[in-house]
A and B are shown apart, each in its own frame.
Chain A
Amino acid sequence: MSEPTVPGLDVRGLDVDLDRTPIVRAVSCAVGPGGWLAVIGPNGAGKSTLLRAVAGLLPYRGEVSVGGTDLGGLSARERARLLAFVPQTPVLPPDITVEEYVLLGRTPHLGYLSGPGRHDRAVAERVSERLDVSRYAERRLATLSGGERQRVSLARALAQEPRLILLDEPTSALDIGHQQHVLELVDELRRAQDLTVVTTLHDLTTAGQYADTLVLLDEGRVEAGGPAAAVITEDVIARVYQARVTVTADAQGRPVVTPVRATRSHPRSP
């Protein structure tokens, strides 16, 4: 992939405070259009805060631009047409149907007093089919499984027709099979539609497998950034996570992180 001139997402010198406590400090990172940036780091490193600031949900200092457009000057509605955000646990009102929920994604495209029209319904329907949720369009959200919920939230986000999608821990509630399904789906979508993807991900091996750029946060600062093999090393993980791991390379040269247990002091009985 050639180096793009206009990045899909460009974050420069981002500072975010929560209750006057600095959570994210001087973070800069960028990813090309259609690229996948994974934000990794230990608990409390500021990953979700970074995502929510980029989504415009928290006040920040610094510059954030999507496809060359500075988000600072945009209204909430204009921003929502450019980027979509899926929180770690989206609020799914139990009694509304999948169809109605996906249609909520059209909100930023509607005038204050107008309802969704034919075109909006067509977009929502197309996205639902793409994510294979139209099969249960009539079901209430309360009846969905974890994997179905994840797909439905993705569908709502895609109905916004964004150029950038921010996913906060999209796989945290899923088993390993559903994790792979969801991440493969995201990967297909970004390739097919030149959609820029930014995720926080807990699992380092998974992050290395799917993202083409990683940024490692520690205590709100960028500790390392770049391709997976450069970021995920035994050294860095030992220092940042205080974890004992071995890092090997898989067939494609991507890092595989294996936790190593300290030598046992109590030998297990046979």
Chain B
Amino acid sequence: MIRSAAVRDKPGRGLRTLRVYSIAVAFLVAAVLAGALVGAADLNPLATVTALLDRIPFVHLPSSLTPLDRAVLFQIRLPRIVLGALVGGLLAVAGAGYQGVFRNPLVDSGLLGASAGAGLGATIAIIYLAGSGPAAVPVAAFVGSLAGVAVAYSVGAASGSGTANLLLAGLAVGMFLTAIQTYVLQRSSQDIQQVYSWLLGSLATATWHQVAVVLPYSAVSVAVVLLHGRHLDVLSVGDEEARSLGMRPGWIRLAVVAACALAAASAVAVSGLIGFVGIIVPHAVRRLAGTSYRLVLPLSLLFGAGFLVLADTLARTVLAPAELPIGVVTALIGSPVFIWILRTTRSVRT
């Protein structure tokens, strides 16, 4: 009787998994379509969809889009949608990965000095490297973000094992870097506007070139994080018991933190600081699919991608022709959702 119950359950679990993946993919497709159809230029929905499908290999569909409409779709909207999806997926996966590594539901992709380092790097680039081309700011943000994490990680690891040391070191390094950034910014107040608009995040300048630059880093970092889902599940029983199960928690932590830092830095480099995606998306996923990282990580990738595409669509349409910073949109949606999560999880965990 017991055995039959256990056996009967297997397909049930597979079906549930299939269902949540279908929801995630449907959400992402809906977000992409919304992003492609909504905007200043009025594109015919049917023609847009057929034009999009026509780009899929081996699919040939005639579309009635004018050459101008095509340019709007493929050179303006689509790179922005794809970049937004990439950034959202990266931020959500990095947030989920950090939450697993630190066994702490409140940590985010900007952890360990990543955001502060990126902020400092971008500020320095905007103020002092204005003449050195458009690549200066993303490169400086990328380097700053990784350097922030590297310093925080080495300081934290040198002051003892365990996760609390790392988080505290990250906090200290982050505040230190933010202090320097504020000081630098204060000394050249004419750039404040530009720095702040970068800090709040934007996808307005998205190009296919940016997508191509970020793609390799994204692929590597996401692959490494996703491959560690099972290890993060084991880590949930604590370092000591994970070790007694033959795992090396220090090594897993280093690998996942490095990959998450790379993911977050790639995202930050092309989009600025976009908050909350790394917290609210993984939490929403947990409510839908449970807490196993083997599901939470890939689903965070899909939902994060869809969420940021939707947020960016709102950012560029709500006050059109002006644009809201996307960081403002994610925080406006994110804060109430986050409060709701706090309230409901308190009642679950006794």
Contacts and interface: CB of A to CB of B under 8 A. Distances in A.
Interface stretch (B28-36, B116-124, B229-237, B324-332): B229-237
B230 A125 contact: no
Contacts of B247: 76-77, 107
B290 A57 contact: no
A96 B243 CA distance: 19
A227 interface: no
Interface string A103-127: 0110110100101100000000100
A104 B234 contact: yes
Contact of A135 (B2, B230, B243): B2
B349 interface: yes
A93 B237 contact: yes
A237 B257 CA distance: 52
B17 to A, nearest CB: 13
A77 B252 CA distance: 14
Interface string B234-258: 1011101101111110000000000
Contacts of A91: 236-238, 241
B332 to A, nearest CB: 29
A81 B245 CA distance: 8
A13 B237 CA distance: 31
A57 B249 CA distance: 12
Question: Is the contact region of chain B dominated by helix, strand, or loop, or is it mixed?
Answer: helix
A153 to B, nearest CB: 9
Contact of A100 (B3, B6, B240, B292): B292
A190 interface: no
Contacts of B2: 129, 134-135
B294 interface: yes
B20 to A, nearest CB: 16
A93 B290 CA distance: 12
A107 B6 contact: no
Contacts of B245: 80, 104-105, 107-108, 160
A142 B349 contact: yes
Contact of A85 (B3, B5, B244, B290): B244
B246 A76 contact: yes
Contacts of A77: 246-247
A198 B243 CA distance: 19
A55 B5 CA distance: 35
Nearest to A114: B230
Nearest to A105: B245
A201 interface: no
Interface string A231-266: 000000000000000000000000000000000000
A87 interface: yes
A137 B9 contact: yes
B205 interface: no
Contacts of A137: 5-6, 9
A142 B6 contact: no
Contacts of B246: 75-81, 107-108
A3 interface: no
Contact of A96 (B5, B230, B236): B236
A100 B227 CA distance: 18
A245 B249 CA distance: 46
B291 A87 contact: no
A97 B5 CA distance: 15
Nearest to A75: B246
Contacts of A110: 230
B190 interface: no
Given A90-B237, A94-B349, A95-B291, A115 B244 contact: no
A87 B349 contact: no
Nearest to B237: A91
A56 B243 contact: yes
Contacts of A113: 227
A140 to B, nearest CB: 9
Indicate the member of B9, B233, B238, B348 with the most A CB atoms within 10 Å.
Answer: B233
A87 B238 CA distance: 11
Given A129-B3, A134-B6, A160-B245, A87 B240 contact: yes
Interface of B: 2-3, 5-6, 9, 227, 230, 233-234, 236-238, 240-241, 243-248, 286, 290-292, 294, 348-350
15 contacts: A56-B243, A81-B246, A85-B244, A91-B237, A92-B237, A95-B290, A96-B290, A97-B290, A100-B233, A107-B247, A115-B294, A125-B6, A135-B2, A137-B9, A142-B349
